[in-house]
Amino acid sequence: MSDKKKELKPNTYKFDTLSLHAGYQPHKNAGSRQVPIYQTTSYLFDDVDHAAALFNLERGGHIYSRISNPTVGVLEERVASLEGGTAALATSSGMSAIFLTVMTLCEAGDHLVVSSQLYGGTVNLFRLTLPKFGIKCTFVKPRDTEGFKKAIQKNTKGIFGELVGNPGNEIMNMPEIAKIAHDAGIPLMVDATYQTPYLCKPFEHGADIVIHSLTKWMAGHGSSMAGILVEGGKFDWMQNDKFPTMTKPYDGYHGLSFAEEFGPTAFTMKARAEGMRDFGPCLSPQNAWNVLQGIETLSVRMKKHCSNAEEMVKYLSNHESVAWVSHPSVPDHPDHELAKKLLPNGRGSMIAFGIKGGKDAGVAFINNVKLASHLANVGDTRTLVIHPASGTHSQMDEATLKFAGLSHDMIRLSVGIEDIDDIKNDFEIGFRASRKPRLVSNQ
């Protein structure tokens, strides 16, 4: 018999277990093994005192489903647990999560430093819509780490970026940019939709707020819109006077100082208490439940997404109809080494590639693939393709397209979890069609 002393190890649940169980206690829900869908707008108060206590944040609980809902709450806790965050707030879409994050952080006269490689809708939010609220942004290319530092002004309240840029796959050097943000006393906000917490936990690399469009890989099934903001809990809002609505008695919520009262969950508490009250982009309990079904299999799906993506990278890299392939797993990708560090479990399933023959060839390819779906989404279990210059980023002018790193020959591919041979066979059909316009024009 060994007398070796057993090392103490924390027995907190790990990723795959949290994906299935976090945020939910069956014994408080009639023993229901599955999370119930609380399809209700509002919740009974015990008495007047109870009602007042809930409105005043003296007690935890639900008042009205625009502010919170028990099914949505399970989703919020589940994602917070998977990210290693203290708290989360689910919203009706990824875009509303970004908007709510910015509006919780900023007020008129404030400034943000923003990565230029973003989903087209997000670019428009920062470039055109936020200025209408008096919030200005400076765009910096994601690989220009020093540029983020130079762009910070006295009124800058945060840095925002997508960890892996959409659609060009440029990777932000998150640890270095986090240091720049923290040296300036401001938080780093990262949209990590492409990665999910299975591939990367941005809080471990210095991010302070993580945002997801849950519509994508987290749900996977492509049935439901949803978004979420997650708080890391490390950022010290009281270190300077940049965030008075977090640190001082705030008229916007009955004189409450969110930072003093709620510390590591202050941002989420303010986003919910103020943002959901005033803007109201709430997630429906049905959609929250749908997303929960997807999260149950997140790690299983992400492994298959990544292995299929790596197969597709090899296939495309050797294909006669392909001019270039961009994916962090490709050794000559400028961020290959950084990707190894930030994405140790896989480099994701988004591939950008250039098709020989330019725009016409791209259009022919898209119009002829049968298995791959041509649509404006990513992260579905099914393989998806789009031509960004004529689709997701079509509202950009030529100069903005160029600044966003887009070209007319670019195809954006979101690799699904179908049999890899079927995806390749489908692409062969598309590539054959893409070569026809050139054959015709050469005659």
Measured CA to CA, the distance from residue 230 to residue 91 in angstroms comes to: 11
Interface residue with another protein, options 19, 35, 38, 73 (CB under 8 A): 73
Question: Counting contacts by CB under 8 A, is residue 262 touching another protein?
Answer: yes
Question: Counting contacts by CB under 8 A, is residue 222 touching another protein?
Answer: no
Question: Which one, 271 or 330, has the nearer CB to another protein?
Answer: 271
Question: Which one, 71 or 213, has the nearer CB to another protein?
Answer: 71
> Which listed range, 129-137, 260-268, 327-335, 417-425, lies at the site for another protein (CB under 8 A)?
260-268
414 bridge partner residues: 350, 384
Question: Which one, 70 or 167, has the nearer CB to another protein?
Answer: 70
> Which listed range, 24-32, 124-132, 239-247, 322-330, lies at the site for another protein (CB under 8 A)?
24-32
Structural tokens at position 377: 């989404």
Structural tokens at position 174: 């998150």
Interface residue with another protein, options 14, 28, 132, 370 (CB under 8 A): 28
Asked if residue 167 has a cis previous peptide bond (ω within 30° of 0), the answer is yes
Residues 289-328 that bind another protein (CB under 8 A): none
Measured CA to CA, the distance from residue 172 to residue 267 in angstroms comes to: 24
Residues 101-120 that bind another protein (CB under 8 A): none
Question: Counting contacts by CB under 8 A, is residue 76 touching another protein?
Answer: yes
Contacts of the segment 388-397: beta carbons below 8 A, 24+ positions apart: 388/120, 388/167, 388/412, 389/359, 390/359, 390/363, 392/119, 392/120, 392/121, 392/166, 392/167, 393/120, 393/123, 393/167, 394/120, 395/120, 395/124, 396/120, 396/123
Q: How many CB atoms lie within 10 A of CB 219?
A: 25
Question: Which one, 21 or 408, has the nearer CB to another protein?
Answer: 21
What is the 8-class DSSP label of residue 5?
Answer: P
The sign of the CA dihedral 48, 49, 55, 61 is: negative
Count of residues of this chain found to bind another protein when the rule CB under 8 A is applied: 56
Burial class (CB in 10 A: 0-12, 13-18, 19+), 436: middle
Residue of 371, 354, 373 lying closest to 434 (CA atoms) = 354
Interface residue with another protein, options 19, 81, 156, 247 (CB under 8 A): 81
> Which listed range, 2-10, 102-110, 129-137, 164-172, lies at the site for another protein (CB under 8 A)?
2-10
Structural tokens at position 162: 């997508």
Interface residue with another protein, options 227, 233, 328, 405 (CB under 8 A): 233
DSSP-assigned states of every residue in 328-343: TTSTTSTTHHHHHHH-
CB of 113 to another protein, least distance (A): 25
Question: Counting contacts by CB under 8 A, is residue 56 touching another protein?
Answer: yes
Beta strands at 410-414 and 384-386: parallel, antiparallel or unpaired: antiparallel
Question: Which one, 1 or 8, has the nearer CB to another protein?
Answer: 8
> Which listed range, 69-77, 178-186, 213-221, 352-360, lies at the site for another protein (CB under 8 A)?
69-77
Amino acid sitting at position 317? S
Interface residue with another protein, options 19, 35, 80, 206 (CB under 8 A): 80
Question: Counting contacts by CB under 8 A, is residue 51 touching another protein?
Answer: no
Question: Counting contacts by CB under 8 A, is residue 16 touching another protein?
Answer: no
Measured CA to CA, the distance from residue 245 to residue 241 in angstroms comes to: 10
113 bridge partner residues: 138, 159
Question: Counting contacts by CB under 8 A, is residue 282 touching another protein?
Answer: no
Question: Counting contacts by CB under 8 A, is residue 19 touching another protein?
Answer: no
Residues in contact with another protein by CB under 8 A are 8-13, 21-25, 27-28, 52-53, 56-62, 68-70, 72-74, 76-78, 80-81, 84-90, 233-234, 238, 254-257, 260-265, 268-269, 272
